[in-house]
Amino acid sequence: MKLSQLFSSTRTPRSAPAVQPGVQTVESPGATDEHGLRPTDSALDLFGITHPGKVRSENQDHFFVGTVNPQVQVHGTSLPDVERLPLRGQRLATVLLVADGVGGQQAGSEASRLAAEAVTTYISSTLRCYHAAGAKDDKLFLDALRAAAVSAHETVSVESVVRGDIRMATTLTFAIVVWPWLYVLQLGDSRAYFFNNGTLRQITRDQTMAQDLVDQGLLPAERISTSPYTHVLSSAIGGSSAVPVVTRIDVRGDRPLVLLCSDGLTKHVSDREIEQHVLGLQSSEQLCRALLELALERGGTDNITIVVGRVRTTPSAN
């Protein structure tokens, strides 16, 4: 991605970061009772991989894959065989994240690292709001996601000032599944895809100048790949404009899969090709490695990061 147009000549004061309210999109694939049961932890297949590519010497991407579980920390007890006690509670959420840094030298890598750490730290400290996910009024949970974006934006913006007002920013695509809902927080042009019932679809919108022109009717959609503005961000963590958008999707269905990636993959591999690889996957790791190899074979002109989370089989009750 490019720095052009992303930063204004006068940076926004840190006391008032330029983060604008997001827009919630609610979709449902038409879940059935057969596939509506919560997957067990053992049914999850999670994997992530990152590579600098063949052109750039430094990898400015970062990713995170994990689950959120309540757990009792034992500090002392007279009970025998304490390790046999069920101290780890049922999974509250599954978390996937990709951040693609923007900036010279190490600035981009630091921006993506700081944003990823800020978001995961914020989410882990707000467990009280998980019960609101998927509710008729889940404003509390949505507010928490947007607050996580504000926290990341402030962290990167302050670091920029500390370093002498250098240009540093990052994309952020953060997916969190609180069964049966998937929430995706999006800033920038990294992507989130959702595969269900044999079909792959992109569920995030690229926040680039080219996509803005398409949405405004000023650029034909078929010309977006050749536009000089295709990889010029119009929104990013740490940039002059940060517009977090949250998408909500019901993920119940036949073996749902979520894939996040930086644009290092989508510069070389089409959505149709990603779908074909998903249809033939053996595991999340195999899928990530196969897509990475394909992008590298076609030039690997940027850092490449891929994260996949899926349900192996039709889940049993947990």
Contact (Cβ atoms closer than 8 angstroms) between residue 55 and residue 298? no
| The model's pTM | 0.86
Confidence band, pLDDT 50/70/90 cuts, at residue 16? very low
The reported pLDDT for the residue numbered 8 is 41
- Rounded alpha-carbon distances, angstroms, from residue 316 to 14, 40, 45, 215, 271: 48, 7, 15, 42, 31
Please tell me which residue, 157 or 10, carries the higher pLDDT value: 157
List, for residues 21-40, the tens digit of each pLDDT value.
554 454 554 444 455 788 88
Q: Is the pLDDT of residue 18 over 70?
A: no
Beta strands in 143-262 (DSSP E): 169-170, 172-178, 181-187, 191-196, 199-202, 245-250, 257-261
Closest-CA residue to 54 (of 306, 295, 307, 305): 295
What's the mean per-residue pLDDT of the chain? 85
Q: Is residue 65 within a helix (H) or strand (E), and if so which, with residue range?
A: strand 61-68
Q: Specify the DSSP class assigned to residue 302.
A: S
pLDDT tens sequence across 175-190: 999 999 999 999 999 9
DSSP string, 111-140: HHHHHHHHHHHHHHT-GGGGGGTTSSS-HH
Are 241 and 234 within 8 A, CB to CB?
A: yes
- What pLDDT was estimated at residue 37? 82
194: Cα separation from own chain's centroid:
12
Domain boundaries, the chain: 29-67+89-311
What whole-number distance in Å separates Cα of residue 112 and Cα of residue 298? 25
**In CATH, what number does 29-67+89-311 get?**
3.60.40.10
Instruction: Give the whole-number percent of the chain exceeding pLDDT 90.
Output: 52
pLDDT digits (tens, 9 = 90+) for 249-273: 999 988 899 999 999 999 999 999 9
